């Protein structure tokens, strides 16, 4: 199980610091940083669960809306990830797994983030401010991770939403050329606002994408 594995890593790290077995256990809490709902949990759920026909505020498949904090909280028992409905469905090995096959299961890292957030009380912030790095902005280190976190749950696979697969660099580049990448994330008129059904990306992420575009939108 992923969580155990990750907890094991923390415990081993604690032992490496020669803290002894009790020290190791408390070290776990110190090393697992506070998970920020708005920036870490919500993007995973929006990108992977709220596609058209699924758990968004209009379609409400199975009477479930996973696009905002209050309705997500209905599927969660704060402090108890293992008995939380969201956790149970994302780790289910059987046919009722979410997202359903043929869509890919969430990654171990994504599951770990959700489980940790529930474990920490499923709070809606406040979140630690993050410094915004605008010096050496690259596709691989700044743009791709944002697309993977906020966009590719919808924009990948056999039937990518909007017929746009943002796991493919040439298609990302295509949206730069037409202006729709910036147009959609900045919510300019004439473009569909992205990420669809969710809040605007924060100003730092938008400025990083803008800088990458201004420097030629390289595959660097
Ligand atoms: C919940 C699903 C979903 C998410 C998440 C999502 N998109 Fe989309 N996207 C769509 C759909 C559906 C369309 C087709 C247009 C429409 O229905 O609004 C689309 C269209 C687009 C378009 C074309 C817009 C236009 O007006 O020409 C771009 C560019 C785009 N998305 C980029 C992104 C980016 C970048 C992200 C992440 C920051 C993202 N999308 C996240 C579902 C999504």
pLDDT tens per residue, range 63-74: 899 999 999 999
For residue 186, how far is its CA from the centre of ligand 1 (angstroms)?
Answer: 12
Judged against a pLDDT cut of 60, whether residue 94 lies above it is answered with yes
Tell me the C-alpha to C-alpha distance, in Å, between residue 92 and each of 88, 105, 193: 6, 9, 33
Structure tokens at 144: 């791709």
For residue 184, how far is its CA from the centre of ligand 1 (angstroms)?
Answer: 7
pLDDT in tens, 161-174: 999 999 999 999 99
Task: Tell me the pLDDT band of 3, cut-offs 50, 70 and 90.
Answer: low
Q: Are 78 and 121 in contact (CB under 8 A)?
A: yes
Q: Which atom of ligand 1 is nearest to the CA of 180?
A: 29
Mean pLDDT confidence for 97-120: 93
Among 4-13, 40-49, 96-105, the minimum mean pLDDT is found in: 4-13
For residue 191, how far is its CA from the centre of ligand 1 (angstroms)?
Answer: 9
At residue 73, the pLDDT reads 96
Asked if residue 72 and residue 105 are part of one domain, the reply reads yes
The fraction of the chain above a pLDDT of 70, given in percent, is 85
Choose which residue among 184, 199, 213 to substitute to test ligand 1 binding: the one with the highest number of ligand atoms within 8 A of its C-beta.
Answer: 184
Task: Give nearest CA residue, ligand 1 atom 23.
Answer: 180
Where in the sequence is the domain holding 190, given as residue range(s)?
139-214
Q: What is the mean pLDDT of the chain?
A: 87
Task: Give nearest CA residue, ligand 1 atom 14.
Answer: 162
d(CA 181, CA 213): 10
Residue given tokens 């009477």 in the structure block = 63
Task: Tell me the pLDDT band of 17, cut-offs 50, 70 and 90.
Answer: very low
Give this prediction's pTM: 0.84
Q: Is 199 in the pocket of ligand 1 (CB under 6 A)?
A: no
Structure tokens at 87: 């956790």
- CA distance from start to end of the chain: 35
Asked if residue 149 and residue 96 are part of one domain, the reply reads no
Judged against a pLDDT cut of 60, whether residue 205 lies above it is answered with yes
At residue 195, the pLDDT reads 96
Asked if residue 192 and residue 145 are part of one domain, the reply reads yes
Q: Is 54 in the pocket of ligand 1 (CB under 6 A)?
A: no
How many domains does one find in the chain? 2
Task: Tell me the pLDDT band of 52, cut-offs 50, 70 and 90.
Answer: confident
Residue 151 lies in a domain: yes
Residue 50 lies in a domain: yes
Task: Give nearest CA residue, ligand 1 atom 19.
Answer: 162
For residue 181, how far is its CA from the centre of ligand 1 (angstroms)?
Answer: 9
Task: Tell me the pLDDT band of 22, cut-offs 50, 70 and 90.
Answer: very low
Q: Are 10 and 31 in contact (CB under 8 A)?
A: yes
At residue 126, the pLDDT reads 85
Asked if residue 59 and residue 29 are part of one domain, the reply reads yes
Asked if residue 9 and residue 114 are part of one domain, the reply reads yes
């Amino acid at each position: 199980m992923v969580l155990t594995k990750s907890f094991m890593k923390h415990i081993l790290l604690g032992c490496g610091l020669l803290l002894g077995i009790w020290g190791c256990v408390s070290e776990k809490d110190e090393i697992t940083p506070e998970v920020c709902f708005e920036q870490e949990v919500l993007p995973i759920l929006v990108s992977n669960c709220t596609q058209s026909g699924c758990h968004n505020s209009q379609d409400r498949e199975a009477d479930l809306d996973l696009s905002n904090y209050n309705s997500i909280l209905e599927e969660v028992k704060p402090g108890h990830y293992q008995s939380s409905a969201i956790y149970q469905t994302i780790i289910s090995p059987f046919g009722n797994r979410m997202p359903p096959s043929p869509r890919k299961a969430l990654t171990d890292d994504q599951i770990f983030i959700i489980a940790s957030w529930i474990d920490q009380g499923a709070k809606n912030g406040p979140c630690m401010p993050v410094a915004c790095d605008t010096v050496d902005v690259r596709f691989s280190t700044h743009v791709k991770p944002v697309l993977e976190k906020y966009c590719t749950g919808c924009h990948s696979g056999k039937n990518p939403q909007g017929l746009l697969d943002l796991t493919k660099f040439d298609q990302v580049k295509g949206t730069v050329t037409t202006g729709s990448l910036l147009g959609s994330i900045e919510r300019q008129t004439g473009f569909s606002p992205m990420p669809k059904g969710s809040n605007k990306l924060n100003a730092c992420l938008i400025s990083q994408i803008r800088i990458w575009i201004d420097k030629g939108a390289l595959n660097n």
